[in-house]
A and B are shown apart, each in its own frame.
Chain A
Amino acid sequence: MEDFQASKPIYMQIVDKISHQIVRGDIKPGEKLPSVREMAIKTGVNPNTIQRTYSEMERMEIVESRRGQGTFVTEVNEVIVDLKEKLQTDMIAAFVHNMKELGFTQEEMLKGLQNYIDREGGK
C-alpha cells in the first residue's frame, strides 16, 4: 500500500510517481510495467484508476501497450529527455511561484538559490 493525497486525483499522482521513477532511472527504457492488477495490489488502488493511469501515460507517449504483452516504458530517448525537462520546469515554476508570493525579486531568488546550493549542494 502506498500513501496518496486523498483530495487529488489518484491517477495523476501515480502518473507522477512512475514518471519520477523513469526519469531517475529506477525504471529503465523498454522495461515492462506491472500489470493493472499487480499495480492495484501493490498500491492499494482501484484497478480502473490504474487503467486510467496507464492510458494517460500512453497518451503522453511515455509508455506503450503491446497487445497481449502488457505496458512497456518507451525506448525513445527523446521522450524521456522531454519528460525530464518537463518535470524540471514544473519544479522551477512551483518554486518561482512560491517565491513571488513571498515577495522576492528575481535577483533575490537567484542569489538565494545560489547561496543554498553553495552551502547545501554537496549533501
Chain B
Amino acid sequence: MIKVEEVSKKYGGEAAVEGISFSLEKGKIYGFIGPNGSGKSTTLKMIAGLVFPASGSITVNGKKVERKIAKEVAYLSELDFFYPTFTVKDMIAFSATQFPDFNMDRANELLAFMKLDPKKKLKQLSKGNRGRLKLVLTLARTAPVLLLDEPFSGLDPMVRESIVKGLLSYIDFNEQTVVIATHEIDEIEMLLDEVIAIQNGQIVAVENVEELRESKGLSVLEWMKKIFA
C-alpha cells in the first residue's frame, strides 16, 4: 500500500531522516511515535507529497509520490491553516473544491457528530473545536490513506475522546490506511494495530501492539520508554 525505501531528507545540511525504510498495509491503523524532532512530520509530509526526499523512493498504491498524490492521501497538518473570516460551512465548501474525493454528506454528518455549528466563524472557534474541524475535513475524504500529524496536541481530554470516537466511527476499516503521528501515545494505545518508532531520523522498531502485550507483557507506552531510553 505505502512503501518507503531508503529515504533521506536534509534541511540546511542537517539530516531530518536518514535512509528510512518501511511499508504500510491496507486497512491498518499505525502509530508513528518518537520524540520531538525525530523526523515524524517530515516523513508524513513526504508521503503526502508536500516535501520531496533527497534520495530514496516513496510509493502509494504502486504510484510514485508527487504533488498530485493529494488525491489519494488525506493529510491533517499539525498547524492551524484556517482563514479566520471563513465560517465552518465556507471551510467545508472550500475543501470540497480542493479534493475530488471530498464527500459532502459525510462532512455534514461529521459536523453534527462533532457538534460544530456551520454558521460559526473560524476565529470564533475554540482551540478544541478547531481540532475537531480539522478531523472533520480529513475524515470527510474517502482517500485510501489518512495521515494525521499530532491530532491531539494541546487539546483537552474531552476533545481527544471525541477525536478517537470520530476516527472509530468514520474510518473505512477495510479500505483506509491510517497513520497517526504523536508523542501522546496514551490517547491512541487502544486504537492501533501497529506502532513504528522513529528517533534521530532513523526507524528504531516496528511492532504489532497486541503482540507486544502478549509476548512481552508491555503496553505501548512502557515499550516506548524502553526503546527510547
Query: Contact residues of A with B, CB < 8 Å?
Result: 1, 4-11, 37, 40-41, 43-49, 52
Q: Which residue of B lies closest to A48 (CB)?
A: B193
> CB distance A45 to B190 under 8 Å?
yes
- The distance from the CB of A46 to the nearest CB of chain B, in whole angstroms, is 5
Q: Which of B159-178 contact A (CB under 8 A)?
A: 161, 164-165, 168-169, 173
Q: Is the CB of B168 within 8 A of A8?
A: no
Residues of chain B having any CB pair with chain A under 8 Å: 27-29, 161, 164-165, 168-169, 173, 189-193, 210, 213-214, 217-222
Q: Report chain B residues within 8 Å CB of A4.
A: 190
| A43 neighbours in B (Cβ, 8 Å) | 190
* Residue pair B217, A8 in contact (C-beta under 8 Å): yes
Query: Can you sample 5 A-B contacts with CB below 8 Å?
Result: A1-B165, A6-B190, A44-B165, A46-B191, A48-B173
Could you say which residues of chain A place their CB within 8 Å of the CB of B169? 37, 41
Give the chain A neighbours of B165 by CB distance below 8 A: 1, 41, 44
State A5–B222 Cα separation when bound (angstroms): 12
CB distance from B133 to the nearest CB of A (A): 21
Whether B220 contacts A6 by the Cβ 8 Å rule is yes
Chain B residues, CB < 8 A from A40:
168
In the bound complex, how far is the Cα of B181 from the Cα of A90, in angstroms?
Answer: 40
List chain A residues, Cβ under 8 A from B190: 4, 6, 10, 43-46, 49
Residue of B nearest to A12 (CB): B214
Q: Nearest CB to that of B211 among chain A residues? A: A9
- Knowing A45-B191, A46-B29, the reply to whether A7 touches B164 (Cβ < 8 A) is no
- A6–B221 touching, CB < 8 Å: yes
Bound state CA distance, A10 and B210, in angstroms?
7
